Amino acid sequence: MTSPSTAAVTALAPETLRSWITEHQDLVVIDVRSAAEFESLHIRGSYNVPLPLLSEHADELAARLGSRVVLVCQSGVRAEQARQRLAKAGIETAYVLTGGAPGYAAAGGDVVRGKDRWDLERQVRLVAGFLVMLGLAGGKFVSPKIRTLAGVIGTGLTFSAATNTCAMGKAISAMPWNKAAKEPTRESAILALPAAGSKSTEAAV
């Protein structure tokens, strides 16, 4: 078991990332949110590799990454999932940006803004809350059996927290309003990354 004193530090403050971007040419910033969220707001120079795509091609992605990788999402949850997946593929030095892309923007970081959209995590909270209220109201005015819906949602949220996954989030991300005009593919996202050891700093804007 790794002791607290030797455990790897994976959280990275926005202020630290700002300095790294100017100091380290080998830095790769990967945004694991959906393409629609990325279009709405992203760190300038970051690459969009949505979490499902990253999970599917983690081994291939890991082979292209160097030793300085920062993972970004909305709050850090999906970025941490990506970090764990990459760790299994051999990348043990990836960092998770504290506060995600919004936190970086709030800290004065250089970001690109597009069409304003609700982020996926906010949509999940809305849908879960609505279904719980629907179950409680339906149980009172229609049939007590409908209250089961609230229990199912509660169980799902508990399982989501315990496993650090979100089935509802995956389902909502597939909805038409969460699709970007150009969805990332293996070719456009992963193969567009600079190869390990490359000093190229070109990235998506």
**Which of the residue ranges 52-66, 99-113, 179-193 would you say has the lowest mean pLDDT?**
179-193
Are 55 and 134 part of one and the same domain?
Answer: no
pLDDT of residue 193: 86
Confidence of residue 165 (pLDDT cuts 50, 70, 90): low
Neighbours of 78 (CB within 10 A): 27
Q: Are residues 45 and 108 in the same domain?
A: yes
pLDDT at 180: 66
43: β partners: 111
Strand partners, 30: 47, 71
- Kindly state whether residues 108 and 62 are assigned to the same domain: yes
Both 86 and 149 in one domain: the answer is no
Q: Are residues 46 and 135 in the same domain?
A: no
Q: State whether 21 and 77 are in the same domain.
A: yes
Written as one letter, the residue type at 37 is E
Given CA atoms 59, 48, 95, 123 in this order, what sign does their dihedral have? negative
CATH code: domain of residue 54 = 3.40.250.10
Cβ atoms of 104 and 17 closer than 8 Å: yes
Q: Residue 164: which pLDDT band, with cuts at 50, 70 and 90?
A: low
The per-residue pLDDT for range 43-79, each reduced to its tens digit, is 999 999 999 999 999 999 998 888 799 999 998 999 9
Q: Could you tell me if 192 and 47 are in contact, meaning their C-beta atoms sit under 8 angstroms apart?
A: yes
Residues 6+ apart with CB under 8 A from 106: 14, 99
In a domain, 145, yes or no: yes
Residue 67, classified by CB atoms within 10 Å of its CB into exposed (0-12), middle (13-18) or buried (19+), is middle
Residue 170 lies in a domain: no
Q: What is the rounded (10 degree) CA torsion for 170, 171, 172, 178?
A: 80
Residue 132 domain boundaries: 120-165
Give how many domains the chain has, as a whole number: 2
- In Å, what is the CA distance from 150 to each residue of 120, 143, 189? 21, 13, 39
- Residue 83, domain member (yes or no): yes
Q: Is residue 38 included in any domain, yes or no?
A: yes
Q: Helices marked H in 24-94 — which ranges? A: 35-40, 51-56, 58-64, 77-88
**Whether 143 and 104 share a structural domain:** no
95 plus 25 within the same structural domain:
yes
Same domain membership, residue 150 and residue 133: yes
Instruction: Give 118-157 pLDDT, tens digit per residue.
Output: 777 777 888 888 888 888 888 878 888 888 887 888 887 7
- 17 and 112 both lie in a single domain: yes
